[in-house]
Amino acid sequence: MKRYLTADLHFEHNNICGEDGFVSSRKHIENPDVMKEILINAHNKRVKSEDETYIIGDISLHCKPKPIYDILTQLNGQIIVIKGNHDSSKLIKYLRNNNYQMDDGRDKFIVHEVGCILKYNGIVYYLTHYSLVVGHRANLRSFCGHIHDAEAVFSNSLNVGIDSPELPAGHPFGEPILFETACELVEEKYQRFGDKYVLDGISNKREEDNVVSITLEEHEWEELEKICVEAGITIEELVNRFMEEVVRTGKLPFEIVWTGFD
């Protein structure tokens, strides 16, 4: 069994492809119907029935669940879905309610609302749709999507979406990337930038979309609100100060214990 990663498929998204599409890597694709066939074929050319693929968010946009379910059932192997900002709760519910077992006994779909963790060669990999602040630590890496044709701004994070400039040179459009290959790429990136954590000067056409996410349990969120009230600041002000410190120093101003992952 092989493990693959991908993100930002955007099935049925009308203005993502064509001459006026906002993503350069899809301007050669005539319309969403053509894009759908390209992506299905690209997936199945690489992924076999015994393999598994992590789709790290944004399967589709503004589409009812049933047509997207029908597309996903055409993809080879087990599909692990991590919810993105364009993935509706109705789609997630539909996948769960209509899940089925494949010939080998595995569920066709596994769904994660926030993200998940994979471990490989002593490294912990966080898979989330938004680029995740994991800190400048030797054993932590992250894979994300969301930013399309831009590079992830953290030295230990890699954009694995199908439009990503961080995929290997000559990587066929639409094909998921092998997990081990992605691990090698993010490791090379981490080593290349050394002690620098937040990168500048990288090719980032969608800088405003480099959103980072911190997941808190309900009781932790309530505690954070209480701290902010006592300090006389809003949560937004706290986050802004936090990110200013990260950008200024290239490191986290304090250690964070992450929660909320399956």
For 126-158, write each residue's pLDDT tens digit.
Answer: 999 998 888 888 899 999 999 999 999 899 999
Instruction: Report if residue 188 sits inside a domain.
Output: yes
What is the residue-averaged pLDDT of the chain?
86
Q: Whole-model pTM?
A: 0.78
Number of domains in the chain: 2
Across the range 210-214, mean pLDDT stands at 50
Predicted confidence band of residue 262 (pLDDT cuts 50, 70, 90): very low
Long-range contacts: 170-175, Cβ < 8 Å, 24+? Answer: 172/42, 172/45, 172/46, 173/25, 173/38, 173/42, 174/38, 174/39, 174/41, 174/42, 174/43, 175/6, 175/42, 175/43, 175/45, 175/46
Asked if residue 249 and residue 142 are part of one domain, the reply reads no
pLDDT of residue 61: 87
The yes-or-no verdict on residue 253 having pLDDT over 80 is: no
Angle formed at CA 257 by CA 251 and CA 261, multiple of 5 degrees: 115
181 and 117 within one domain: yes
- Give the pLDDT score at 203: 45
227 shares its domain with 182: no
Instruction: Note whether 183 and 218 are same-domain residues.
Output: no
What is the spatial order of strands in the sheet that 115-120 belongs to?
115-120, 123-128, 140-144, 157-159
d(CA 28, CA 38): 11
pLDDT at 257 over 80: no
Co-location of 36 and 97 in the same domain:
yes
Q: Is residue 133 part of a domain?
A: yes
Q: Is the distance from CB of 86 to CB of 60 less than 8 angstroms? A: yes
Is residue 209 one of the residues assigned to a domain?
A: no
**What local confidence, expressed as pLDDT, does residue 230 receive?**
80
Angle, vertex CA 25, rays to CA 88 and CA 204, nearest 5: 85
* Nearest one of 116, 146, 113, 145 to 52, comparing CA atoms: 116
**Looking at the structure, do residues 91 and 151 belong to the same domain, yes or no?**
yes
- Parallel, antiparallel, or unpaired: how do β-strands 123-128 and 157-159 relate? unpaired
Report the pLDDT value the prediction gives residue 165, as an integer from 0 to 100: 95
Q: Looking at the structure, tell me whether residues 87 and 127 fall in a common domain.
A: yes
Instruction: Kindly indicate the confidence band of residue 209, based on its pLDDT and cuts at 50, 70 and 90.
Output: very low
pLDDT at res. 99: 98
Do the domain assignments include residue 242?
yes
Q: pLDDT tens for residues 31-43?
A: 999 999 999 999 9
For residue 170, the enclosing domain spans 3-193
Give dist(CA 159, CA 147) in Å, integer: 7
55-59, 213-217, 226-230: least confident range: 213-217
205 in any annotated domain: no
pLDDT greater than 70 at residue 46: yes
Assess whether pLDDT exceeds 90 at residue 167: yes
Q: What are phi and psi of 231, to 5 degrees?
A: -85, -10
CATH code, domain carrying 169 = 3.60.21.10
> 162, 193, 224: which is the final residue of a domain?
193
Please identify, among 136, 158, 193, the residue that sits at the C-terminal boundary of a domain.
Answer: 193
Mean pLDDT on 237-257: 60
